[in-house]
A and B are shown apart, each in its own frame.
Chain A
Amino acid sequence: MLWLCIHFHQLPLEIFMTAGQETPEAALAIIEQHRVCAANTAAMALGVRVDMSGSTALSLSGTIKLRAREAAHEAATLDALADWACNFSSQVSVSPPDRLLLEIGASLRLFGGLTALLQAAECELRARGHRTRNGLGPTPLAAELLAHALPCSASAPSPWATDGDPAAFRSVISELPIHFLGAPGKQQLAMQRMGFSRLGELLALPKSALGKRFGKDLTGYIDRLCGERPDPRPLHRPREHFVLRIHFLEPLADTSMLLFPMQRLLGEMGRFLDRRQLYCQRLEWRLGTTRNQSQVLPLACSLQQNRIDALLGLSRLALERVRLTDAVDSLELACVESAAVLAQEGQLFDTEQAIDPEAERLLLDRLRLRLGSERVYGLHIQDSHLPEQAWSTVHEPSPQALRSASLQRPCWLLQEPIPLKEHDGRPIWDGAIELISGPERIDTAWWSEPQLRDYFIGQQANGSLLWVFRERASGCWFAQGVFG
């Protein structure tokens, strides 16, 4: 067993990002209970220290930005990082608030050795804008302790880990100063008074004497540290649904500035979905504004492949329709619906019949997004004798059985039947309409509103062929269709 502990020691800072850069350049300090709990290098250079009060930090320089700590967001980010860590190990556990534990002993051969694995992990984390301290140990606790006390990296891995010698590990541990144990202050003081300064001196004592003096907690800790007692950790279960949020250091007032973070979030989602062989059907952009209101941008995508460039294009189109009422200070992407990717069959020869179904779906998505989905539709035939009820619109037309049509029907139906004046027994519309054929009587809907109509084909003076009817009950003429 070889455990890797990744310690995100700057996580409270790293969850904030500016729209254009991976890490904030401006001096930033995170405040928890009126005290600074983390500060970036720019703030450190100005003299900000951890545990300083917020007002003292502000008095050092007016340019320092103070932000309240977002513990919930940190936990969500750590969860997302644990999902990412599943690329490297089948045993990943989250150790709150800011550590991940990976059992990498079983993955070394796959990655071609410890150095290669650490390099790959460090490289991907750096691309995400995270700085970490790594520790390697034969037990989870040892890895955590060493990440804190003796951080290692791909360029300088722990010497004991490369040859995996437990004796070497014990000698490393023995050399650690006693305060790395993290024992309560009272015990710490007692240990110092008893003359202990290194961990090895403590380990050399008999367990029972140590237990009597410092309690069972300490002996249990040492047993777990040295692997003499099991230390089960809860396994991380990868999330089923993708949700990720970015907080902005500076609120954004312009939608075009959202494109860069959108691209980054979509990239994360693409990797998430690729791992599960899924594709996104519906996603939501949630723009959190400075007034704690959120604006939701739903996006439907009928592509059956995971295509981030297409999703970015659709998002850009959706963003064009958005009017921002307030500045945006957080952006969340949620994949609401997803489905399993199916293998696509291509065609060997480029014939006229060969079409790219993905391109067609993308086109329809774009049109629906810009015009609104109610303005893009197909036609469907309904069973009704009343002409205006013999058809309906459908979102996506499906094949219908052909039925014999012996009756003359016009290609164009008017939105509403237009009432016509009558002269000498003939309907008039731009001059008298000459009735050519008819009547075809339609007598239907006797169960609700009886409709009794005599339909004629008539020709206008200018040559247009119209479909007109005379309502028997009222004797009025109406034009209902045009023979195109």
Chain B
Amino acid sequence: MSDASDPLSNILARPDIWQAGSARAANEQQHSLPTGHPALDTALHQSGWPRGALTELLSARCGIGEIQLLAPTLAHVSRGLRRIFLVAPPHIPYAPALQALDVRLSRLTILKPAGRSELLWSLEQILRSGTCGCVLGWLEQERARADYASMRRLQIAARNMQGPVFLFRNPASDPGLSPAALRLRLEHEAGGLAIRILKQRGGRAGQELLISRPPQLLAPRVLPALLPACVSTQPTHHQTSAAFPAGILPATSPRLPRPILH
């Protein structure tokens, strides 16, 4: 196969020929960006997020660990020179938390477009210019849904990008047909985020995997039976400050978690 005159190896060396089941070619690394989750990398046929193409994330609500899924990618991209655009995020991206995830805030730019047309226009401009490292867009709200034609426009514009493009969409409005190169369904499951690969270009779909939440987030540290009692037996704020000057609060019970004072 190493012989250059071999017609088969000539054909296989072409960049537009994809070999099913072959060992992942070295140049595929250039077309993908590792997700930072080894299990997901294994399931993805390009072993990472596709670069220069759309990745659709279908999730019904936020707060199930979707940012945690992207956090390694965001941290990696923000260490480079390129910007990360957050287009129409559903809530305020909280700076201290993002910094705790090792995302450099100086690379983040947030866009709040006023309506659907502005949202799609901004996304297209960003993708077309190709200067940014990563784009996250939220198309899940009722007034911001994108039809197939606009998704197709975005997909074509995304070819200029060198980084991944993540678009959050609502599965309720999912027509099942999309030009995106990779589509994942995100759902909550006990202990973490359940991912199902709905589509990946050039690869097999249907894999399911679970990305667990960081243990410190879910470690129970409150005894439920204690809480109402703790709330009712505590003196009010004014009494506290009178009884314990200089802001020192004693741990009244050894079973009560000690509050963190600022």
List residues of chain A with CB under 8 Å of any chain B CB: 352-353, 355-356, 359-360, 362-364, 366-367, 370-371, 375-381, 385, 387, 390-391, 393, 397-400, 402-403, 405, 407-415, 424-426, 434-444, 446, 450, 452, 454, 456-457, 460, 462-466, 470, 472-473, 475, 481-484
Dominant secondary structure at the A interface: mixed
- A-contacting residues of B (Cβ < 8 Å)? 61-68, 80-83, 89-101, 104-114, 118, 121-122, 125-126, 129-132, 162, 188-189, 213, 216-222, 224, 227-228, 231, 234, 236-237, 240-241, 247, 249, 257, 259-262
Closest Cβ of chain A to B30, distance in Å, is 9
Could you tell me the distance in whole angstroms from the C-beta of A400 to the nearest C-beta in chain B? 6
- Of the candidates A355, A367, A385, the one whose C-beta lies within 8 Å of that of B82 is A355
The answer for the CA separation of A443 and B247 in the assembled complex, in Å, is 8
Query: Which of B64, B92, B106, B261 contacts A415, CB < 8 Å?
Result: B92
In the complex the two chains form, is B237's CB within 8 Å of A363's CB? no
A472 to B222, CA, bound (A): 17
Residue pair A397, B118 in contact (C-beta under 8 Å): no
Query: Is A367 a contact of B125 with CB atoms below 8 Å?
Result: yes
Beta-carbon contact of A371 and B109 below 8 Å: no
Question: In the complex the two chains form, is A412's CB within 8 Å of B62's CB?
Answer: yes
Give the residues in chain B near A425, CB-CB below 8 Å.
227-228, 231
Report which of A363, A426, A452 forms a contact with B129, defined as CB distance below 8 A: A363
Do A464 and B64 touch (CB < 8 A)? yes
Contact between chains at B92 and A484 (CB < 8 Å):
no
**A9 shortest CB reach to chain B, Å:** 49
Q: Do A378 and B108 touch across chains, with their CB atoms under 8 A apart?
A: yes
Q: Is the CB of A370 within 8 A of B121?
A: yes
Q: Give every chain A residue within 8 A of B94 (Cβ-Cβ).
A: 387, 391, 409-413, 481
Q: How far is the CB of A396 from chain B (nearest CB, A)?
A: 9
CB contact between B63 and one of A393, A412, A426, A454 (< 8 Å): that residue: A412
Q: Report the Cα distance A353→B107, complex, angstroms.
A: 14
Are B104 and A399 interface neighbours, CB within 8 A? yes
Could you say which residues of chain B place their CB within 8 Å of the CB of A444? 262
Determine if B113 and A375 form an interchain contact, defined as CB atoms under 8 angstroms apart.
yes
What residues of B have a CB within 8 angstroms of the CB of A450 in the complex? 237
Contacts of A378 in B (CB 8 A): 105-106, 108-110
Give the distance to chain A from B228, nearest Cβ to Cβ, in Å. Answer: 3
Given contacts A435-B222, A443-B262, 20 further A-B pairs with CB under 8 A are: A360-B131, A375-B112, A379-B98, A381-B105, A387-B96, A399-B106, A403-B99, A407-B260, A411-B98, A411-B101, A412-B89, A436-B220, A438-B222, A441-B259, A441-B262, A454-B259, A465-B213, A472-B237, A481-B94, A484-B63
